């Protein structure tokens, strides 16, 4: 089968609507998955209480910036506006400390932890980062779980779609490059 056909079939399967799965069988009252078995962050939960350092209006401002861009941008904006997803904009040092607790390293452009999205205050790609991490946060809140590669593929495809729609800097030239990049995970 041609590489492009395989790529398109895979993308269709990843992005097609599906019934959320419960990974652990124990869904918290808030609608998210149990962190320990679904996401492996039990140790971080015990020692890390993220501090929200953004101004109240900043989250809504980011949501408004996503509105009207792509369907995924609309979904993320609605989730931010409704409070299902929380956005935290951190200084460089606070971001690095927080990420080191969750991932064990100190570098990322952005990350999500459950329904919380953490962005670097000085990121050159804030909205693109928000689409990627917002996809992970939405997946968490709906209980969507298909394995790490599928979750990353979904996030990168939606981010790529956003970059193309907004005529921003594009990380990948086409979906095949997205698939090839994610296959290295």
Our CA angle for 79, 81, 83, nearest 5°, is 65
Quick one: DSSP state of residue 68? Answer: T
pLDDT beyond 90 at 177? yes
- The more confidently predicted of residues 34 and 62 is 62
Q: What is the mean pLDDT of the chain?
A: 74
| Fold (topology level) of 3-14+52-182 | Collagenase (Catalytic Domain) (3.40.390)
Confidence of residue 98 (pLDDT cuts 50, 70, 90): confident
User: Picking from 116-120, 174-178, 181-185, which range would have the lowest pLDDT averaged per residue?
Assistant: 181-185
Give the integer Cα–Cα distance in Å for 185 and 179. 10
pLDDT of 109: 86
Could you give the percent of the chain with pLDDT greater than 70? 68
Three-class DSSP category at 148: helix
How confident is the model over 1-53, as pLDDT tens digits?
456 545 554 554 455 443 332 222 222 233 332 222 233 333 333 333 444 44
Which contiguous run of DSSP H or E holds residue 159?
helix 148-165
Q: What is the pLDDT of residue 52?
A: 44
d(CA 96, CA 86): 19
């Amino acid at each position: 089968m041609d590489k492009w056909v395989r790529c398109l079939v895979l993308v269709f399967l990843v992005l097609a609507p599906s019934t959320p799965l419960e990974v652990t069988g124990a869904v918290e009252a808030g609608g998210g998955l149990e962190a320990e078995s679904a996401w492996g962050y039990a140790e971080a939960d015990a020692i890390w209480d993220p501090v929200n350092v953004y101004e109240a209006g900043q989250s809504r401002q980011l949501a408004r910036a996503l509105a009207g861009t792509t369907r995924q941008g609309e979904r993320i904006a609605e989730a931010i506006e409704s409070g299902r997803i929380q956005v935290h904009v951190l200084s460089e040092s606070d971001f690095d400390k927080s990420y080191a607790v969750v991932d064990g390293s100190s570098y990322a452009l952005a990350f999500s932890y459950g329904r919380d999205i953490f962005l670097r205050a000085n990121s050159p790609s804030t909205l693109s980062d928000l689409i990627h991490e917002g996809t992970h946060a939405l997946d968490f809140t709906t209980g969507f779980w298909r394995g790490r590669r599928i979750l990353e593929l979904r996030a990168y495809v939606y981010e790529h779609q956003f970059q193309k729609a907004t005529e921003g800097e594009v990380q990948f030239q086409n979906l095949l490059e997205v698939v090839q990049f994610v296959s290295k995970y």
